[in-house]
Amino acid sequence: VRNTNSFDVLVIGSGLAGICAAAAALSGNARVGLISTGPGTFALGSACIDLEELHLDQPFTNPVSKDALQFFLALTAAAGCPYRDQPAKKLIPTALGTFRAASLTPVTAWAGNPDTSNKALILGIKGLNDFNSSFLAETLTYQAESAGWRAKYHALTLTVDNLPPAVTSLELARWLDQEEFRRQFISLIKPLIKDYDQVLLPGILGLNNDDQVLQAFQAELGCPVCEIPTLPPSVPGLRIYQHLLTHLQNFGAVVLSGYPATRIELEKNAAAKITIATPGRPRIVKTNAVIMAAGRGDHYRLEINPGPVIVAPVKVNEELQVVDNNRVIAGNLFAAGSIIDSGTARNGNAMAILTGYLAGNRAFRGEANNG
Ligand SMILES: Cc1cc2nc3c(=O)[nH]c(=O)nc-3n(C[C@H](O)[C@H](O)[C@H](O)COP(=O)(O)OP(=O)(O)OC[C@H]3O[C@@H](n4cnc5c(N)ncnc54)[C@H](O)[C@@H]3O)c2cc1C
């Protein structure tokens, strides 16, 4: 029976930073608890990651970044949601009709490079109103032409029998996890393929069995298939978030979700207990280290007793230990991800991977100086 009241490492937040921190600590066999009030911003988005601004795209020039990148690729592969990476800038189409650069994409979003297609089919689905295939075909073709790429985009809208008049990408993804619906759906597309050499669909390629769904589409249609994430909340981010969280739980992480962590008790200058504001009576959990990865969405506040109240964004030293007025609060109190006072939204995911990986390692292996 697992003890759910005492941990080696407690991570506050289960966004991408918290997940990477928990996974890094787990890989050293730590007893890990993950406290969160919800899934975090990664689960809302496209799940594509741009490493450029951190120069993680040149991993051989930066050993720490290289390790973090390899760790993330291994983690997502082991969790059943593999990524593809490419050091050079890669362009993928977006639901806004633009191309964006990404260094890492989920396998389901990999095949949309405008330079690898002469004639691509963009497939809308009748009832899925937040994906406009005609608009996308027109704007992507214009952009590809202006940039000198050879891709031309054509739009078709698929009518699937027995669908309600309005459907969401989440519903379609759930249905496509089921073999029968998937077979029927693919058989409607197959006669449309003709001389298209790439098929672009909204982000609907399964919620759980994405690998299987992608393979079935590509095998039956005989050409690369790529999903374009719809506007948030978007299936690809949610799908990868769920895969990662389940993976952590399978490896022993305890997920304490739904209630905020509000207070840390220090004992002998080290973080020793966390209060979780559960209804009725607050829950107190013991720990040997804490990683704050609560993002900055709702101006996270954490009371330190004795000590200051920390309000996001927080400052850290080079070891990722949280500092207040340039003083380390506790040698075993770290921060990771967008809660740290640096970075931009554009490189937020890359920052979350890098700092989560480092904080998870330091919190468990005690690599940091005690200030
Ligand atoms: C719509 C959208 C699109 C984006 N697109 C991109 C992109 O394309 N590329 C990119 O690099 N970045 C992008 N970003 C930014 C990126 O998503 C974030 O910077 C990054 O994922 C931050 O991760 P995080 O784990 O630090 O924080 P978050 O994802 O914010 O996670 C915070 C976690 O802390 C938990 N939490 C909060 N308060 C408490 C509390 N009191 N107690 C316990 N838990 C708490 C939350 O429930 C959540 O689990 C985007 C952001 C948004 C909103």
What is the distance, to the nearest Å, from the Cα of residue 263 to the centroid of all Cα atoms in its chain?
27
- pLDDT of 355 reads 93
For every residue of 311-347, DSSP letters joined together read: ESSBEE-TT-BEEETTEES-TTEEE-GGGBS---STT
Q: Which of 214, 240, 209 is nearest to 227 (CA)?
A: 214
Comparing CA positions, the residue from 65, 112, 62, 58 lying closest to residue 84 is 112
For residue 49, give the nearest of 345, 342, 343, 350 by alpha carbon.
Answer: 350
Overall pTM surpassing 0.85 (yes/no):
yes
Phi, psi of 44 (to 5 degrees): -90, -20
CA distances, 326 to each of 67, 136, 253, 315 (Å): 28, 50, 32, 8
Query: Max CA-CA distance within the chain?
Result: 71
CA of 359 to the centre of ligand 1 (A): 16
Q: From 12, 291, 349, 353, give the residue whose CB has the most ligand 1 atoms within 8 Å, as the site to mutate.
A: 349
Ligand 1 center to 163 CA (angstroms): 33
Q: Token pair 């993928």 is at which residue?
A: 92
Question: Ligand 1: distance of its center to the CA of 349 in Å?
Answer: 8
Pocket (CB within 6 angstroms of ligand 1): 12-18, 35-42, 44-46, 48-50, 232, 260-261, 293-295, 297-298, 300, 337-339, 345-350, 352
Strands 333-335 and 270-276 turn out to be unpaired
Structure confidence at residue 111 (pLDDT): 86
Around Cβ 135, how many Cβ atoms within 10 Å?
15
Neighbours of 80 (CB within 10 A): 15
Report pLDDT for 103. Answer: 84
In ligand 1, which atom is closest to the CA atom of 262? 41
- Residue 47, C-beta contacts closer than 8 angstroms, at least 6 positions apart: 105, 106, 109, 229, 234, 236, 237, 239, 240
How far apart, in whole angstroms, are the C-alpha atoms of residue 222 and residue 216? 10
Q: In this structure, how many other beta carbons lie within 10 angstroms of the beta carbon of residue 53?
A: 14
Strand-pair partners of 323? 315, 328
Could you give the CA distance from residue 335 to residue 354 in angstroms, rounded to a whole number? Answer: 12
Q: Counting atoms of ligand 1 from 1, which one is nearest the CA of 350? A: 11
Tokens of 323: 């500092």
How confident is the model at residue 345, as a pLDDT?
59
Atom of ligand 1 nearest to the CA of 38: 47
Q: In tens digits, what is the pLDDT along the chain, a chain of 371 residues?
A: 567 889 999 999 999 999 999 999 999 899 999 999 999 999 998 898 887 766 665 555 577 788 898 999 999 999 999 998 766 667 889 999 999 888 888 999 988 888 888 899 999 999 999 899 999 999 999 999 999 888 899 999 999 999 999 999 999 999 999 999 999 999 999 999 999 999 999 999 999 877 789 999 999 999 999 999 998 889 999 999 999 999 999 999 999 999 999 999 999 999 999 999 999 999 999 999 999 999 987 678 999 999 999 999 999 999 999 999 999 999 999 999 999 987 565 678 889 999 999 999 999 876 554 43
Query: What pLDDT is recorded for position 342?
Result: 73
pLDDT value of position 346: 63
Rounded distance from Cα 294 to ligand 1 centre (Å): 8
Ligand 1 atom closest to residue 261's alpha carbon, by position in its atom list: 42
